[in-house]
Amino acid sequence: MNRRRRTRPSVLIIALLIDLLLGEPPNRFHPVAWMGSAIAAARRQAPGNRGDQVSPRGRLISLAYGALIGLGGTFGVYRLGRLAEDLIDRLPPALRWATEAALLKTTFSVRRLAHAAREIQSALDRDDLPEARRLTSWHLVSRETSSLTQSQVAAAAIQSVAESTSDGIMAPLVSYFCAGLPGAFAYRFANTADSMLGYRDEAREWLGKVPARWDDLLNLLPARLTALLLIIGAAVSGEDAGQAWRVWRRDRRKTASPNAGRPMSAMAGALGVELEKADHYTLGGGGSAPRAADISRAVRVMGTSVALGLGLILGVSILQSRVQRDCARATPGKTQE
């Protein structure tokens, strides 16, 4: 018996409404927080975790252990997602949709991203640069922020809004479309493993290599789709879609990541600003220095792009469902699940 298709348009809509109206559940009830705790516990047991310079054999062990965390954890979470689906399927239809939507919502957050960006903008508008730096470090970036100027803080916020539109919102939704709730949770585990282990410091250089490359692979499609959605979203939002396209074409490969430069360069062009990470990259070169007001513009483009992306996924899902029904009706003796 073929397993029925798991993407439900109604679940996507309910999940987005839950996110916009209610926001995040407490960490003790948040599956992604549980994933983070599990990854942290696994890292504490990692060989060579004391920060010592390890031997070639030790590096190989760390590499294998990191692969076990990243790949093994992803597939383990996928299997747990399948079990959760089986349990959800036993519920009455309305409760089934609500439960699946509530779980799907935990894999993405539009509201939290917009709120974090606007908090930083509010601090900059008050000329409270220390608070803006603190909020940027607390909510959006892992790098040192204590020496950032106002323009650099605004740039960091805009970069994070653009990148998180891809890996924090569209990628989980694309994963849900491709593989249902288990796919969304599996993606979120892989992305969380990368965010916790994928650094080039001494303790995580080898431990995080496989999780980082695995996350890069899973984000290849979402990052490119998000860049195109940001370009279209710029046009709908009244920003410069033509410049977004040109900057994306020119600067999309300038970051070390094969994915991060895609949405960030599109956003830089859309807003006409230059986004720089010192000693790493400059996107939108020749644009103006970012200001606090540009953060709200970025949030508006993000919101429009997410709405377009959700509409695209819903449209394809509905069309696919209709094709499946038509095929089932045209095939005698075959029942549709």
Categorize the per-residue pLDDT at 54 as very low, low, confident or very high, splitting at 50, 70 and 90: low
**Residue 302 pLDDT greater than 60, yes or no:** yes
Tokens (6 digits) for 204: 């995580």
- For residues 281 and 201, the answer to whether their CB atoms sit within 8 Å is no
DSSP-derived letter for residue 28 is G
Q: In the chain, what percentage of residues exceed pLDDT 90?
A: 78
Q: How far apart are CA 190 and CA 294, in angstroms?
A: 31
Categorize the per-residue pLDDT at 65 as very low, low, confident or very high, splitting at 50, 70 and 90: very high
**Residue 1 pLDDT greater than 60, yes or no:** no
Tokens (6 digits) for 142: 């892992």
**Residue 173 pLDDT greater than 70, yes or no:** yes
**Residue 211 pLDDT greater than 90, yes or no:** yes
* Helix or strand holding residue 136 (H, E): helix 129-139
Categorize the per-residue pLDDT at 59 as very low, low, confident or very high, splitting at 50, 70 and 90: confident
**Residue 214 pLDDT greater than 70, yes or no:** yes
Categorize the per-residue pLDDT at 327 as very low, low, confident or very high, splitting at 50, 70 and 90: confident
- For residues 239 and 294, the answer to whether their CB atoms sit within 8 Å is no
- For residues 271 and 158, the answer to whether their CB atoms sit within 8 Å is yes
The sign one gets for the Cα dihedral 45, 46, 51, 57 is: positive
Region 121-139: what's the mean pLDDT? 95
Give residue 6's pLDDT.
58
Tokens (6 digits) for 230: 């940001």
Which of 93-97, 182-186, 324-328 is most confident?
Answer: 182-186
The sign one gets for the Cα dihedral 268, 269, 274, 280 is: positive
